[in-house]
Amino acid sequence: GESVGLHLPTLSVQEGDNSIINCAYSNSASDYFIWYKQESGKGPQFIIDIRSNMDKRQGQRVTVLLNKTVKHLSLQIAATQPGDSAVYFCALTNDYKLSFGAGTTVTVRA
Amino acid sequence: DVKVTQSSRYLVKRTGEKVFLECVQDMDHENMFWYRQDPGLGLRLIYFSYDVKMKEKGDIPEGYSVSREKKERFSLILESASTNQTSMYLCASTRPGQNYEQYFGPGTRLTVT
């Protein structure tokens, strides 16, 4: 099956700083690469996606970078806020399915 | 606002019991999915359905079955619950061709004793 790995299981960041969450993958044939956010007690929520023919995409306070050469995906969160505390999952399309990484728990320090 | 609901937030069952987990979506989505979520393993796909009465096995279908009699409802069935099926179960739905943007329910935490 598809392998999706995260570099760090936890990340602690000071409020107001930028956060960077990383993810590595093994399947070069994926069309989409996606980030989900899961807050405590809730299901994962779609944040942003990037197509395989792009290397950068920006949303509201978030930027996703895709480096297909080294098979690396990252999510950058600008000016991290307490509401950004959550588990973040990277995922990629695998035919009609999604393959998820194990998740990085982000904790924002006041 | 889109919504995916799951029948229970918490469920405790005994080994050997038959367990039904229900999921309902109100977005008229064709595709629906069942995942289990375990610490350190992320989300793993159990089964999915792309239409009424259609189902496809995911990555870990053993010990589970599903039912999709109506478009809005997708049920996960544990025929004979075992302790290794203690987990968080998540349901999701999506439009065809947009599997990258899945809408998830809040999850059911199942404990099998």
Q: pLDDT digits over A46-97, tens only?
A: 999 999 999 999 999 999 999 999 999 999 999 999 999 999 999 998 877 8
pLDDT surpasses 50 at A1? no
**End-to-end alpha carbon distance in chain B:** 37
List pLDDT tens digits, range B60-109: 999 999 999 999 999 999 999 999 999 999 999 998 888 889 999 999 99
Single-letter amino acid code for the residue at A108: V
Is A97 an 8 Å CB contact of chain B?
A: yes
Q: Report the DSSP pairing between strands A32-38 and A10-14.
A: unpaired
User: Which DSSP letter does residue A65 get?
Assistant: E
pLDDT of A40 higher than 80: yes
Distance (Å) from the C-alpha of residue A102 to the closest C-alpha of chain B? 4
- How far apart, in whole angstroms, are the C-alpha atoms of residue A96 and residue B96? 9
What pLDDT was estimated at residue B2?
Answer: 67
B48 inside 8 A of chain A by CB: yes
Mean of the per-residue pLDDT values for chain B? 95
**Inter-chain contact B48–A97, Cβ cutoff 8 Å?**
yes
Contact at CB, B102 and A46, closer than 8 angstroms: yes
Residue with tokens 């279908």: B61
Q: Counting beta carbons within 10 angstroms of the beta carbon of residue B68, is it exposed (0 to 12), middle (13 to 18) or buried (19 or more)? A: buried
B70 by DSSP, 3-state: which?
strand
Strands B87-94 and B103-104: antiparallel
The stretch A22-28 carries a mean pLDDT of 88
